[in-house]
Structure 1
Amino acid sequence: MSSTHRPYRCRLCGAASYQRLLHRGPDGAMGYSGTYRCSGCAIDFADPIEWRDAPAEPEPGLTALSH
């Protein structure tokens, strides 16, 4: 029996995890920014499903950061 389950990994580098990004709001309080960063290639993204399922090349709106 074959499985159609896709592994939960970055489509670019294969990393299995990402981090929620924080930002400081106008009132000085820290909070989640609504974006995430891959723990492998450091690309920023807004949707974890697209992190896993989108085509294997960065889209114009995504930003890869240098290490």
Structure 2
Amino acid sequence: MRTTNTLNKCHRCGATSYKPVIERDASGNMTPSGQHQCVGCGLTFGSIDEWRSGTRHNEQVPQQVNDKP
């Protein structure tokens, strides 16, 4: 049996496919919203990097704040 390490997969469930989210626009037509949805867990995301790694594209990871005096 051959073991593969898939890079193009959902960070949350491991699914290897996603679909476009279709929404009704102001004129009543069904059009792509610009978002995508994982077929495995239903995660909605705007960039493939967000689906793969769990971080939004161009989003900085917040630094931990120490609230204790």
Unaligned stretches of 5+ in structure 1? Answer: 1-5, 56-67
Cα distance between partner residues in 1 of 2:25 and 2:50: 26
In terms of fraction of residues, the more strand-rich structure is: 1
Instruction: Report % sequence identity.
Output: 36
2:9 partner letter: R
TM-score (normalizing by structure 2): 0.66
Deviation string, structure 1 residues 18-50 (Cα, Å, up to 9, x no partner):
010101111111110011110101111111111
User: In structure 1, what is the equivalent of residue 50 of structure 2?
Assistant: 50
2:11 partner letter: R
CA RMSD of aligned residues (A): 1.8
Cα distance between partner residues in 2 of 1:29 and 1:14: 33
1:1-67 to 2 correspondences below 5 Å: 7-54=7-54
Cα distance between partner residues in 2 of 1:39 and 1:29: 23
Greater than 2 Å deviation, 4+ residue runs:
none
Unaligned stretches of 5+ in structure 2? Answer: 1-5, 56-69
